[in-house]
Structure 1
Amino acid sequence: MKPDIRVALVGNPNTGKSTLFNALTGLNQKVGNFPGVTVDKKTGIAQLPDGRRAEIIDLPGTYSLYPKSKDESIVFSVLAEKGSALTPDLIVIIIDATNLKRNLLLYTQVADLKIPVVIALNMMDMAAKANISIDIDLLSRRLGVPVVPVSARKVEGIDDLKKVISFANKHAMQVDSIDVHAIAPALIADISNEVEVESPYYALQLAHQHEYLNFLTPAQSDKIEELEKKHSFHSQKAQAAETIARYNYINDVLYDTVQTPETAHEESVSNKIDHILTHRVFGFVIFMAVLLFMFQSIFAWSEYPMSLIEDGFVWAEGLLRGVLPAGPLADLLIDGVVAGLSGVLVFIPQIAILFAFISILEDTGYMSRVTFMMDKIMRKVGLNGKSVVPLIGGFACAVPSIMSTRTIENWKDRMITIMVTPLVACSARLPVYTLLIALVVPNKNVWWIFNLQGLALTGMYVLSLVSAVIVAFVMKFILKARERGYFIMELPVYRMPRWNNVLFSMYERSKAFVVQAGKVIIAVSIILWVLSSYGPGNRFENIKKKYSQPQYTQKLPQADLDRLISSEKLENSYAGVLGHSIEPVIKPLGYDWKIGIALITSFAAREVFVGTMATIYSVEGDADNITSVQDKMRSAKTPEGKPVFTLAVAFSLMMFYAFAMQCASTVAVVYRETKNWRWPAAQLVYMTLLAYGAALLTYNLLK
């Protein structure tokens, strides 16, 4: 159903734009890409009081219409292109009430494009707390646009904003903030004659950005370039003159409309907290303590719900075996699909807890401080502080983290960040780590609430960050570029996390993990079951004949006989043949052919390792002895009767998965971001070599 009105949300970073978007649209949201550009586009539907439906577009945050990154360049492109599927009928500018002077710069630029504008004056609760008095009515009259006070975090003023959107005038009412003609009068006049424009400022922006605007024809862009040369137009000088003029106007407006207490210039509470949390020594100690607590909690808090899910799958498998008639279909469903899914879905509590912590760190503003603290370290390895955002985001998933590198202006910094981000331990590795740690590391407290399992998991995540930094340092000398990177970032004030937002984030991200992983796991489990249940030639018939002989049927109980037949069939199946074919390569790492099968299947996605183990041991195991994947792996034995998953093997596997590029989605997104297959190919090669080397070294040190 086509929306009645299209509204674009525009604002500076950290003004609560995304929070307002969520408040307006609720769950009526979807994420895609802007046409022709690999930049995230969030859209949603808001129901207006007059019964109409408004499509809300959440544009990337930007401080100005002059872009510094690919994300920011989208803003002017969407606002400037007429008649497209994204052209807004109305713009809602989100302004931080505690930072009016800085935020109004973007407003004056957008308003001068002569597109209808409404101001959402956000964080009014914070302004009141800081004793900042704003004359809303006078501010609205001075600017010539509706100004609606809201508090997006507290969902206050949202209904008023919807009413204003409903009745907003379709003709631009905002007053001119500066005399745009005075900046480049002749050039603006000539561009206005060449291209249809609605305002002089639109013409001036075409002069600044025409080479990046896809909606202009090559002939129009070339003509604008000619006019720039004709009038000796200097873009940076024009921007400087414009910015000075705009701030003069903003100062005049705020002089009459805003009153701040004299104490406003005293050091804020956020700054006082920053003295501790961003301290050159204590800041890193606190960050490590936060990480340790986070990963300890993942083990401790998830134990009970994981047990319930595990027991639920064991019960479901037993129920299905009792209900379904014996045959290939039942085996496919139980040993293939259900066993494969159980191996990963049991880790939902741990995934949810991880995402909850990440959401809390982002919501409170602490994640921005980590980025700030890491800037000096990043610079020493050839990156800058902005690289930390994708690296920390990599704890959740490398795919969106690699896409977020578009905010890094420097080409070299961006490419190095893309190349090392997959080294950061993502949520897909969490099931592998926690399963293997639970197998070989004792659940034993070493100090207060911290135990060995939590320390081991923390160590894997710290290792991932350290390895990313080391590889980045090496690449600093391999990649050459003359550009100099810089780091400009605004630190938001500390706030209490919005618990409903944390819960929503847990639900959405866990659901995405389950859906994405579930699709891959079901497909891989079905293929793997077929490969494990059938073999080449007449191998299965020969095994059946072998064990039908009296020396087996008369001497062995039926349960042991069935187990022997299942084990030998698995070894002679297509999967077994495949596993044995790579066994010579992986044997030095301590792996057998069954683990080799899991390594192959998990190239689709790392978490498939657990599902593969569950399927392999379900196909091989005793149908009457239904246990969890962890119990199956713990009881697995070598032909010599020794445990398969020893301390050396488990940690060797963790090291392999810590470094290996086993994620098809990451390979695809690296290609999409770099537009060249040599980058994902190089990434795949160096990470595989690192994984093999680290696994080999670990196994030989611990065996």
Structure 2
Amino acid sequence: MATTLKIALVGNPNTGKSTLFNLLTGLNQKIGNFPGITVDKKTGFCKLSATQQAEIIDLPGTYSLYPKSRDESIVFQVLADKKNSSHPDLIVLVADATNLRRNLLLYSQVADLRIPVVLALNMTDMATKEGINVNIDELSSRLGIQVVAISARSKTGLDALKQAIANTTAIPTQVDGTDVNVLAPAAINESKTLLDTDNDYFALQILHQHEHLEIYTAQQHSQFEQIKKAHEFESSKLQAAETIARYRYLSTILSGVIEDTGASKKFAFSDKIDSVLTNRFWGFFIFLFILFFIFNAIFSWSAYPMSLIEGAFGWIAKTGHEYLPDGVLTNLLLDGVVAGLGGIIVFIPQIAILFALISILEDTGYMARVTFMMDKIMRKFGMSGKSVVPMIGSFACAVPSIMSARNIENWKDRIITIMVSPLVSCSARLPVYTLLISLIIPDTKLLGFISMQALALMGMYLISIIAAVTVAFVMKFMIKATEKSYFIMELPVYRMPRWSNVLFTMYEKSKTFVFEAGKVIIAISIVLWVMATYGPSEKFEQIETKYAKIEMQKDSVQISTLERDKSAEKLENSYAGILGRSIEPVIKPLGFDWKIGIALITSFAAREAFVGTMATIYSVDNGEENPGTIRDKMREARNPETGLPVFTFATGFALMLFYAFAMQCMSTVAVVYRETKSWKWPLIQTVYMTAMAYVASLIAYQFLK
């Protein structure tokens, strides 16, 4: 039976640590939370040999063991607590060969904890191109550990790394260059006695960080504080002194190990590109052009596969009605499950394209530049530069973006970021936008290549960004705080995207969209089908009697028309119809009918449910008489009072604004509560976003109708 070695991947941000994790584990990975902490924990398994496998934990990126955010504090918590379920038998420290001196600061701290370490020197191919040559054998000898040259991007050196992992048992032998005991000898010695350890650095780190560690009792925390007070232990000064001492030590370690023949031109290529892409004036126009390209691609590239998927589901529904026996189960399967599923599957091409292009922008290093460009603007609207990351991340999903706001130390900046992030249009809104845009915006090209539909989609995303920063500006004056914020980030050099990573991201995000949103939508579709098919028995009996009398006096063509009328009247008097009618007076000023009202209610579970709801409602309404696509059915829908299309430009635009602003995601509400530890903030958020949605839709419809 194979033995399992527990390995932690540790490294600075932008060193390729997550890429290495994906290569080692492939699809054999899962995401959860660290015990008792709402921070993402990625784990996976990797086979080292016939008798040994490794459980690999991808720890958050950090520049040192001294945390600047909640995510970074996890690294020391895992490494310090031997009882922690994630505590490793071995650490693989991933370092960037193009900037080894900075990366080895973290290594020297980790090595002082006396845990076995393998140094994975990543990006060695790029280092060679930049004129940087590292003497691997000499570095290994000086550090007293195994050093392996790898390139996660080109998948080289992985076998050597696995072999090194399998053969490593000893702790680093050359870590005496930094004597931390001289920093605060009396305090460290007392801490060592209290902890019953002989490790100076472990005792020092506990004095610095004990308040983050739940493994100690209240009495022990008090004892650590007494030690610090008795010996005037000033954490910030000691951290600075330690860092200076470590860099001096690393200078001697790296002397003669690194030969840099291209130091003057190392970042020349990136700097030339940055002079254009981050230009104060042109940078924003380039960003807008890239956004338009993405939205144009979403419509243009997805048209053919979406058409095939729609045709396939239409064929399934039509064939099913032809060959399956009439009855409740057939109708439930075809008009409930298949219709709801089709409303989700059809948008996979657009979701895949969106995330593929975002992944390319991240891999090349461009998204980091966007964050840099937006920093000054964000500060004017009451948020720090660190708020840019959650805001941009909200284009994909607000839930992980709100969780990433933990990196914002300033409480006010963090709360404002959490409160406005759901306003940024996420991928869950994409199916709603594209469906409605296809109904109200003609598929024409300006100047032969500029898609009107792509411009409309881009406009919706820009509206969401403007709304978010406007609300943030208002909250800047409403929420009081005295803390100052700062923003420091490292711009990575430009690189070619990793196409395997892009494909993996497309697969993962599409799978998540189908299985996470799909579960909710299928459940809603089944409930909706039941509510739309059944109603008060006396009402249905009256309808049956009414149309039975009329059918006796009509021919076959008229009877076919009567069947559609009867189906529509039954739907209107069903339980779903009654629910929709009950809220129609409230939403009618927005241009919405009772069918749209049902979709608004179901969408509070998940925004994507709008599409599934429309698919189910119109399938029940038309049945097998109209086997067309959901878009065809919605396009043909008529207002019974005016005879005009239900989805006019005014109604469609008002509906898109409602979905742009309304809080229609239970997962977001839950994560805001979890992050703020109070129902106050999610309640305020839900109320103000719903009010914004209603007022914006009301103004838009009344102005445009």
Shift in CA distance, 50/544, structure 1 to aligned 2, threshold 3 Å = closer
Whole-Å Cα distance in 2 between the matches of residues 620 and 262 of structure 1?
A: 70
> Offset at 1:265?
5.5
Residue in 1 that maps onto 2:580:
579
Residue in 2 that maps onto 1:138:
138
Per-residue CA deviations over 1:50-87 (Å, capped at 9, x if unaligned) read: 53010000000000101010000000000000132111
Residue in 2 that maps onto 1:658:
660
Whole-Å Cα distance in 2 between the matches of residues 154 and 260 of structure 1?
A: 22
- Residue 134 of structure 2 contacts residue 257 of structure 2 at CA under 8 Å; is this kept in 1? yes
Whole-Å Cα distance in 1 between the matches of residues 374 and 508 of structure 2?
A: 29
Shift in CA distance, 175/587, structure 1 to aligned 2, threshold 3 Å = same
Q: TM-score, normalised by structure 2?
A: 0.98
> Offset at 1:49?
3.0
Per-residue CA deviations over 1:221-249 (Å, capped at 9, x if unaligned) read: 11111111111111111111111100100
> Offset at 1:680?
0.7
Shift in CA distance, 552/456, structure 1 to aligned 2, threshold 3 Å = farther
Residue in 1 that maps onto 2:688:
686
Whole-Å Cα distance in 2 between the matches of residues 198 and 461 of structure 1?
A: 57
Amino acid at match of 1:626: P
Residue in 1 that maps onto 2:98:
98
Whole-Å Cα distance in 2 between the matches of residues 53 and 279 of structure 1?
A: 49
SS at match of 1:605: coil
Whole-Å Cα distance in 2 between the matches of residues 120 and 561 of structure 1?
A: 74
Residue in 1 that maps onto 2:649:
647
- Residue 143 of structure 2 contacts residue 172 of structure 2 at CA under 8 Å; is this kept in 1? no
Shift in CA distance, 109/263, structure 1 to aligned 2, threshold 3 Å = closer
Whole-Å Cα distance in 2 between the matches of residues 95 and 539 of structure 1?
A: 72
> Offset at 1:104?
0.8
Residue in 1 that maps onto 2:314:
314
Residue in 2 that maps onto 1:300:
300
Is 1:616 equivalent to 2:617 in the alignment? yes
Paired residue total: 703
Is 1:695 equivalent to 2:697 in the alignment? yes
Is 1:325 equivalent to 2:325 in the alignment? yes
- Residue 24 of structure 2 contacts residue 46 of structure 2 at CA under 8 Å; is this kept in 1? yes
Whole-Å Cα distance in 2 between the matches of residues 622 and 103 of structure 1?
A: 64
Amino acid at match of 2:281: V
Per-residue CA deviations over 1:488-529 (Å, capped at 9, x if unaligned) read: 000111001111111111011011001011101110001101
Note the 1:147-166 alignment, pairs <5 A: 147-166=147-166
Q: Which moved more, 1:421-430 or 1:264-273?
A: 264-273
Shift in CA distance, 309/139, structure 1 to aligned 2, threshold 3 Å = same
Q: TM-score, normalised by structure 1?
A: 0.98
Whole-Å Cα distance in 2 between the matches of residues 243 and 289 of structure 1?
A: 43
Shift in CA distance, 553/160, structure 1 to aligned 2, threshold 3 Å = farther
Amino acid at match of 2:609: V
> Offset at 1:175?
2.5
SS at match of 1:641: coil
Is 1:635 equivalent to 2:636 in the alignment? yes
Whole-Å Cα distance in 1 between the matches of residues 210 and 425 of structure 2?
A: 41
- Residue 113 of structure 1 contacts residue 198 of structure 1 at CA under 8 Å; is this kept in 2? no
Note the 1:367-516 alignment, pairs <5 A: 367-516=367-516
Amino acid at match of 2:654: S
> Offset at 1:362?
0.5
Whole-Å Cα distance in 1 between the matches of residues 240 and 615 of structure 2?
A: 63
Whole-Å Cα distance in 2 between the matches of residues 477 and 207 of structure 1?
A: 38
Per-residue CA deviations over 1:365-392 (Å, capped at 9, x if unaligned) read: 0000000000000010111222111111
- Residue 148 of structure 2 contacts residue 157 of structure 2 at CA under 8 Å; is this kept in 1? yes
Amino acid at match of 1:398: A
Shift in CA distance, 143/283, structure 1 to aligned 2, threshold 3 Å = same
Structure 1 stretches lacking a partner, 5+ long: none
Residue in 1 that maps onto 2:562:
561
Whole-Å Cα distance in 2 between the matches of residues 80 and 233 of structure 1?
A: 21
> Offset at 1:302?
0.5
Whole-Å Cα distance in 2 between the matches of residues 614 and 138 of structure 1?
A: 66
Amino acid at match of 2:181: H
SS at match of 1:549: helix
SS at match of 1:457: helix
Shift in CA distance, 172/142, structure 1 to aligned 2, threshold 3 Å = closer
Shift in CA distance, 550/46, structure 1 to aligned 2, threshold 3 Å = closer
Shift in CA distance, 255/174, structure 1 to aligned 2, threshold 3 Å = closer
Q: Which moved more, 1:393-402 or 1:170-179?
A: 170-179
Q: Which moved more, 1:223-232 or 1:55-64?
A: 223-232
Residue in 2 that maps onto 1:603:
604
Amino acid at match of 2:357: F
- Residue 570 of structure 1 contacts residue 619 of structure 1 at CA under 8 Å; is this kept in 2? yes
Whole-Å Cα distance in 2 between the matches of residues 115 and 494 of structure 1?
A: 34
Percent identity for Structure 1 against Structure 2: 62
Residue in 1 that maps onto 2:179:
179
Whole-Å Cα distance in 1 between the matches of residues 343 and 524 of structure 2?
A: 13
> Offset at 1:410?
1.1
> Offset at 1:197?
2.6
> Offset at 1:552?
6.3
> Offset at 1:447?
2.6
Amino acid at match of 1:477: F
> Offset at 1:31?
0.4
Shift in CA distance, 409/462, structure 1 to aligned 2, threshold 3 Å = same
- Residue 552 of structure 1 contacts residue 561 of structure 1 at CA under 8 Å; is this kept in 2? no
Structure 2 stretches lacking a partner, 5+ long: none
Whole-Å Cα distance in 2 between the matches of residues 265 and 620 of structure 1?
A: 68
- Residue 50 of structure 1 contacts residue 166 of structure 1 at CA under 8 Å; is this kept in 2? no
Residue in 2 that maps onto 1:28:
28
SS at match of 1:154: coil
Q: Which runs of 4+ in 1 moved over 6 A?
A: none
Q: Which moved more, 1:30-39 or 1:338-347?
A: 338-347
Residue in 1 that maps onto 2:250:
250
Residue in 1 that maps onto 2:11:
11
Per-residue CA deviations over 1:448-477 (Å, capped at 9, x if unaligned) read: 421111100010111111111111111111
Shift in CA distance, 496/320, structure 1 to aligned 2, threshold 3 Å = same
Q: Which moved more, 1:402-411 or 1:106-115?
A: 402-411
Is 1:593 equivalent to 2:621 in the alignment? no
Residue in 2 that maps onto 1:229:
229
Residue in 1 that maps onto 2:520:
520
Is 1:365 equivalent to 2:365 in the alignment? yes
Shift in CA distance, 406/342, structure 1 to aligned 2, threshold 3 Å = same
Per-residue CA deviations over 1:71-115 (Å, capped at 9, x if unaligned) read: 000000000001321110001111100101111111111111111
> Offset at 1:176?
2.0
Per-residue CA deviations over 1:91-141 (Å, capped at 9, x if unaligned) read: 111110010111111111111111111100000011000111111111111
Shift in CA distance, 225/308, structure 1 to aligned 2, threshold 3 Å = same
Whole-Å Cα distance in 2 between the matches of residues 587 and 630 of structure 1?
A: 22
SS at match of 1:418: helix
- Residue 559 of structure 1 contacts residue 622 of structure 1 at CA under 8 Å; is this kept in 2? no
Whole-Å Cα distance in 1 between the matches of residues 78 and 313 of structure 2?
A: 49
Note the 1:32-71 alignment, pairs <5 A: 32-49=32-49, 51-71=51-71
Q: Which moved more, 1:543-552 or 1:289-298?
A: 543-552
- Residue 116 of structure 1 contacts residue 173 of structure 1 at CA under 8 Å; is this kept in 2? no
Whole-Å Cα distance in 1 between the matches of residues 113 and 263 of structure 2?
A: 37
Whole-Å Cα distance in 2 between the matches of residues 543 and 102 of structure 1?
A: 78
> Offset at 1:266?
6.5
Give RMSD over aligned pairs: 1.3
- Residue 130 of structure 2 contacts residue 266 of structure 2 at CA under 8 Å; is this kept in 1? no
SS at match of 1:211: helix
Q: Which moved more, 1:380-389 or 1:104-113?
A: 380-389
Whole-Å Cα distance in 1 between the matches of residues 307 and 62 of structure 2?
A: 46
SS at match of 1:121: strand
